[in-house]
Amino acid sequence: MEFQVERGNGMRRLRLGVYKLRVIQLVCSLFVFSLLWGWTTTNTVVTYVWHSPYINSQNLGKTLVLAYTLIPQPLQGVSVEREWVSQLQESGIDAHSWSALAPMIGIPSMREITRVLKGGGFDTLLVTQLLALKQTDPHTRNASVAIVETRLYIAPDDDVYWSVQSETFLYRYSGQELRHPSRRDLYQFVQTMMRTMAGSGVL
């Protein structure tokens, strides 16, 4: 009788252990899924794509990347340039950031850009510009949307042959995102832009 009681207690402990193990596995699976979901879903939406009817699509070739904004004051997007260069290089594109080639100039004039394009033998210029910030919901504290335009130029001229406008939701925007954007927002933004470029045949 005592043997049967101990055996029954042992079976209950075994079932309890298996149940706990399954719960732990489920929690771990949900955690991994939430991470993957957070990196695969995007808070960037494409609102408009334009392609010049006079200039044919072309591969990027050697590309110079410049990112900047003029609001609320002129500011160069060094982190944005680095993310662009990182993802473009992973795709096999010879990409270089303006901030690395001309760190002392800051936001350049078109004449300064043309000089660097010619001197470096670049094929294209990729410009990402923050155009505006708009408040989305007065009931959500510091929620803003960044309106961004990304343009492609044929180097060394200033002829735009492709552009896209997009909106990126910034939750709890404090103003620091202009200088130090979150890694996740940057990654998702560039991913969305590159998918759009590929769909337009300009990547």
pLDDT at 57: 74
Note the helical H segments in the chain.
2-40, 78-90, 98-101, 110-120, 183-200
Q: Which residue has the higher pLDDT, 125 or 23?
A: 125
Q: Give the integer Cα–Cα distance in Å for 109 and 105.
A: 9
How many percent of the chain have pLDDT more than 70?
71
pLDDT at 3: 45
DSSP per position, 69-86: E-SSS-EE-HHHHHHHHH
Give Rg (Cα) of the chain: 25
Containing 165, the helix (H) or strand (E) segment is strand 159-170
Give the tens place of pLDDT for each residue, 47-78.
Answer: 999 999 988 777 899 999 999 988 878 888 99
Give the tens place of pLDDT for each residue, 13-25.
Answer: 555 554 544 534 4
Q: Hunting for tokens 């944005």 — which residue is that?
A: 80
pLDDT at 18: 47
Where does the pLDDT of residue 189 fall: very low under 50, low under 70, confident under 90, or very high at 90 and above? Answer: very high
Q: What is the mean pLDDT of residues 152-156?
A: 93
pLDDT at 58: 77
pLDDT at 42: 64
Using the predicted structure, report yes or no on whether residue 194 has a pLDDT greater than 90.
yes
Stated pTM of the model: 0.76
Give the tens place of pLDDT for each residue, 76-89.
Answer: 899 999 999 999 99
